[in-house]
Amino acid sequence: MADEHALIQCLPAHLREEAMASAQRVRLNPGDMVFRAGDGCRGLPMVLSGSVRVQMLGASGHGIVLYRMGADDLCTLSIGCLMAGRGYRAEAHVEEPTEALLLPSVVFDQLMAQSGEFRQRVMASYGRRLDDLMLLVEEVAFGRMDQRLTGWLRAHAVGRPAAVTHQALAVELGTAREVISRLLKEMERQGQVRLARGKVEYLER
């Protein structure tokens, strides 16, 4: 049971103590929202364990999942909000019971100044996120929906059925619920998938 974030563990003892002393420990439950679009940012969240989904809401009411934060991730989005002093553009939903630290921005800056390893990890984390988003842009712009859906199912619904509604899948891939319903129905006809209310199982061949 890691009690500290990898980013904290990598710090020399005196900085680590200071970080832990000023950080606020947060416990979140599935369904909670960490922040909503427009919210101000009150510190830098670092996820210790669990999973948080970050998504955007389009004008049409549709949404799309941008990325997820898991153990040892930090919320790169928040850094931008802290620096620019504007609100979040996305919203974050807790998916699994999650523990997190909320680090005051002053302390964050101090750690950035004083620990090379901390800097390194933060920048790397930022790079990864940028990369994720670039891949997402490419997928959304050029990917075919049936292949994106199959990709998701292969990653999440092999072996045992995944507990997910068509609506949730639509948000996951940034499309409309009807599109998912039709694609799944077709895949079912072809025996690639087994469907039940709120469940989808992908059948490997």
Partner DNA sequence: GAGGCTCAGTGATAAAGTCACATTGGTTAT
Partner DNA sequence: ATAACCAATGTGACTTTATCACTGAGCCTC
Residues that bind a second copy (CB under 8 A): 56, 58-60, 62, 64, 66, 76-77, 79-81, 83-84, 89-90, 109, 112-114, 116, 119-120, 123-124, 126-131, 133-138, 140-142, 174-175
Question: Minimal distance in Å, beta carbon 53 to DNA?
Answer: 16
Does residue 182 interact with DNA by CB under 7 A? Answer: yes
204 binds DNA (CB under 7 A): no
Between 31 and 116, name the residue whose CB sits nearer to a second copy: 116
DSSP symbol at 73: -
Q: On the CB side of 163, how many CA atoms lie within 13 Å of its CA?
A: 1
Q: Which residue has the tokens 């997820």?
A: 68
DSSP 156-183: H-BSS-EE--HHHHHHHHTS-HHHHHHH
Q: Does 57 bind DNA (CB under 7 A)?
A: no
179 near DNA, judged by CB under 7 A: yes
What span, in angstroms and rounded, lies between the C-alpha atoms of 199 and 204? 16
* One-letter amino acid of 28: L
Q: Compute the distance between CA of residue 97 and CA of residue 71 in angstroms, rounded to an integer.
A: 12
Check binding of 181 to DNA (CB under 7 A): yes
* Residues contributing to the site for DNA (CB under 7 A): 60, 62, 141-142, 144-147, 165-167, 174-179, 181-185, 195-199
